[in-house]
Structure 1
């Protein structure tokens, strides 16, 4: 029970650090909460939702956590947040259900992206997620979340990989690859790649004590939009996410299942080079 309380406090800290960063500013209001409502199986963008602020800032979130996307088809659950300060929506991040955390995380990402823009932060482009790990052939890579293209690149270099998987039927061992449901296997990895969805579903906190010996811990994915310093304080060494550059163009592409192209930018940040 005490350990569970500790993990909950850690995610509460993530929430509070973002809210505190607003300082004395008036919280911007929510212009839109965007969830794909049709063609859920055929639209590849259905797994992402967006919180849009009145100034046009967009914060991304990941919707396919448990039954969250199905529940969020009922917009009466969240219509009342439209026109309200985004901090009201952000409080849902502390709730117990997945659909609420999905919306709350989107709000925290929107706040973070707005603050980064106001700081004049200059995003750097990153084309290769593996660059975040600064790999050498002597490394062993841990992976929380399945990244097939990255796994193929690592296997081609014969770098050993340990993948943490939720489904027991997917567990296996083969040359240079171990897939296991045991997260403690991360202790044997000196480079670790973690999906950003662990922030949304509050599973990042119990993973962090398992990677304290790793010299690089990268948190990646389109839903990684929090203020980088908040994640670096937790022990993450680098982040890779997306910033939405053109909200209207992005929303049009997102809704119609198109690639985001120049409406969004992939970026990566290492804590050694972050000015925040």
Structure 2
């Protein structure tokens, strides 16, 4: 049986990374009950991965198929359905990005559950992302959010999209995601795809934010649990 390679949470560097922080925070808040929460269903699709827990709490994450040159495989055998949430949550720390997606979807499902248990940990917000952008702002978008692009361009024309895929549009400036080191430090607003959690680029990208006034984590993979992202 293949084993999942898990990043240990020892040492200052690991403690400062977002996924170990998220996993540890959920473990702390849910306590021993985490080992009693059953996974009812797991679906790994071409676009998204979904996890359903008991009491119909669900979560999704982006399926990072673009990270693989061939047919991807999970690094373990057996069934995911019927496992307990504590084991599934640990997959968020796997270096296999497909396994990490399952773990992040589990974290999102647990976040939904925790919101009902401890609503005080989930302060509501009515802020619209467009309200954070000023006409003079330089906006960097990591990942292409098509419906959002024309709305941003109505506010500022200083929008740069960093994307692995080629985006053909004469109205937008699109660069390879490898240009992040050049673009992010000089940006006022950074819109970061939550798929960076599964492909393990979040920590590096957030370290390049420079003096950015606003950093927004966007997309269905983004956990509802806010605390680890503001520590």
Do both share a fold (TM > 0.5)?
Answer: yes
User: Helix, strand or coil: the match of 1:211?
Assistant: coil
Deviation at 1:157, TM superposition (A): 3.2
Residue of structure 2 equivalent to 1:182: 179
Say if 1:68 and 1:99, in contact at 8 Å, map to a contact too: no
Q: 2:10 matched to 1:13?
A: no
Deviation at 1:115, TM superposition (A): 0.4
Say if 1:92 and 1:103, in contact at 8 Å, map to a contact too: yes
Q: 2:48 matched to 1:52?
A: no
Cα distance in structure 1, aligned partners of 2:112 and 2:207: 28
Equivalenced residue count is 213
The verdict on how the C-alpha distance between 1:178 and 1:102 changes in structure 2, with shifts beyond 3 A counting, is closer
Question: Over residues 95-137 of structure 1, what are the superposed CA-to-partner deviations in whole Å (9 max), with x where a residue is unaligned?
Answer: 1212111111111111111101222468868695434xx1110
User: Helix, strand or coil: the match of 1:113?
Assistant: helix
User: Helix, strand or coil: the match of 2:220?
Assistant: coil
Residue of structure 1 equivalent to 2:95: 96
Consecutive unaligned residues in structure 1, runs of 5 or more:
37-45, 234-276
The verdict on how the C-alpha distance between 1:68 and 1:129 changes in structure 2, with shifts beyond 3 A counting, is farther
Q: TM-score, normalised by structure 2?
A: 0.78
Cα distance in structure 2, aligned partners of 1:155 and 1:230: 31
Cα distance in structure 1, aligned partners of 2:222 and 2:211: 23
What is the 5 A alignment of 1:235-250?
none
The verdict on how the C-alpha distance between 1:227 and 1:85 changes in structure 2, with shifts beyond 3 A counting, is same
Deviation at 1:50, TM superposition (A): 1.1
Deviation at 1:53, TM superposition (A): 0.6
Residue of structure 2 equivalent to 1:194: 192
Note the aligned Cα RMSD (angstroms).
3.2
Consecutive unaligned residues in structure 2, runs of 5 or more:
1-11
Say if 1:61 and 1:106, in contact at 8 Å, map to a contact too: yes
The verdict on how the C-alpha distance between 1:47 and 1:173 changes in structure 2, with shifts beyond 3 A counting, is closer
Deviation at 1:172, TM superposition (A): 9.8
Residue of structure 1 equivalent to 2:8: none
Among residues 25, 34, 37, which one is paired with 2:43 in the alignment? 34
User: Helix, strand or coil: the match of 1:52?
Assistant: strand
User: Helix, strand or coil: the match of 1:227?
Assistant: coil
Cα distance in structure 2, aligned partners of 1:23 and 1:212: 36
Cα distance in structure 2, aligned partners of 1:176 and 1:84: 45
User: Helix, strand or coil: the match of 1:225?
Assistant: coil
Say if 2:161 and 2:172, in contact at 8 Å, map to a contact too: no
User: Helix, strand or coil: the match of 1:152?
Assistant: helix
Cα distance in structure 2, aligned partners of 1:62 and 1:102: 7
